[in-house]
């Protein structure tokens, strides 16, 4: 059975460029989360989707960050005008229970490096 | 919003000894407290969780305790093995999101 799949696994870009990170959740999981993890830190919440809608986007650091989940399955995290401080591992997780609080299944992450 | 603090940041034990990691949370409305294990280059993986209506839960060598009044919870690993070496994260769930602690790097020396 497939777990949460994230692509690319590694992305190196230049300051100012636009990047997209993709997450393919476990089939049937309606809840999807994006987290950002800096070196030596715990995952930092960015945004939570329940189905197609963003139920909570309070963790997005600024308007350069945006995420979509148009069909309630695959999600894309989009970062405009990247900055060196955006360098981190971006983790996606999906869950069956969503707001009811249950196990999050994480992907292996997309490591973003902004030069 | 919720704030989760985790201690210690690093922990080194001898194989066979016990390891204890402690977390505190700030929002009394949080009701679900999982622990995740993260190995190098991997995403975090759930190892045990506890809900706010329970004070303790055990699964083989791993146990978690929760003190709602004091707003703290702990992970206990007994009879540690080298394969327990990893980074462990606690988390607290409230409303829509899960907030994580900063992590504890556990090293089990053979």
Strands A110-114 and A10-13: parallel
Q: Are B97 and A59 in contact (CB < 8 Å)? A: yes
Do the Cβ atoms of A105 and A4 come closer than 8 Å?
yes
If you average pLDDT over every residue of chain B, what do you get? Answer: 94
Instruction: Report d(CA A47, CA A12) in Å as an integer.
Output: 23
Min Cα–Cα distance to chain B from A91, Å: 7
Question: What is the CB neighbour count within 10 angstroms for residue A106?
Answer: 24
Instruction: Name the token pair of A32.
Output: 């999807």
Q: Is the pLDDT of residue A100 over 60?
A: no
Q: What is the predicted pLDDT for the residue at B52?
A: 84
Give Cα B17 distance to the centre of its chain. 17
Q: What is the predicted pLDDT for the residue at A2?
A: 80
* A101 band by pLDDT with thresholds 50, 70 and 90: low
The pLDDT of B87-109, averaged and rounded, is: 91
Residue of A4, A101, A105 to mutate when probing chain B, most B C-beta within 10 A:
A101
Q: Are B43 and A55 in contact (CB < 8 Å)? A: no
Percent of chain B predicted with pLDDT > 70: 98
The pLDDT of B26-41, averaged and rounded, is: 93
Q: Is the pLDDT of residue A1 over 70?
A: no
Q: Are B42 and A108 in contact (CB < 8 Å)? A: yes
Q: What is the predicted pLDDT for the residue at B58?
A: 96
Buried b (16+ CB within 10 A) or exposed e, B93-109: bbebbbbbbbbbebebe
- Determine the 3-state secondary structure of B86 from DSSP: strand
Q: What is the predicted pLDDT for the residue at B94?
A: 80
Q: What is the predicted pLDDT for the residue at B104?
A: 97
Q: What is the predicted pLDDT for the residue at A96?
A: 84
* A98 band by pLDDT with thresholds 50, 70 and 90: low
Q: What is the pLDDT of residues A48-78, one digit of tens each?
A: 998 888 888 989 999 999 999 999 899 999 9
Instruction: Report d(CA B13, CA A112) in Å as an integer.
Output: 33
Instruction: Report d(CA A12, CA A29) in Å as an integer.
Output: 30
């Amino acid at each position: 059975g497939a777990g949460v799949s994230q692509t690319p696994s590694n992305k190196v870009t230049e300051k100012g460029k636009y990047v997209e990170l993709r997450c393919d959740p476990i089939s049937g999981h309606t809840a999807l989360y994006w987290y950002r993890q800096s070196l030596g830190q715990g995952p930092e919440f960015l945004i939570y989707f329940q189905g197609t809608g963003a139920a909570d986007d309070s963790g997005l650091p600024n308007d350069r960050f945006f995420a979509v989940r148009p069909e309630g399955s695959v999600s894309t995290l989009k970062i405009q005008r990247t900055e060196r401080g955006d360098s981190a591992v971006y983790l996606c997780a999906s869950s069956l229970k969503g707001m009811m609080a249950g196990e999050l299944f994480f992907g292996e992450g997309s490591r973003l490096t902004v030069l | 919003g919720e704030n989760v603090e985790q201690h210690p940041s690093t922990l080194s034990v001898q194989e066979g000894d016990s390891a204890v990691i402690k977390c505190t949370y700030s929002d009394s409305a949080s009701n679900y407290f999982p622990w995740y294990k993260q190995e190098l280059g991997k995403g975090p993986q759930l190892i045990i969780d506890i809900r706010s209506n329970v004070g303790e839960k055990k699964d083989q060598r791993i146990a978690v305790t929760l003190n709602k009044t004091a707003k703290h919870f702990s992970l206990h690993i007994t009879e540690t093995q080298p394969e327990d070496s990893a980074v462990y994260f606690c988390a607290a769930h409230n409303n829509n999101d899960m907030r994580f602690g900063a992590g504890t790097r556990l090293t089990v020396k053979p």
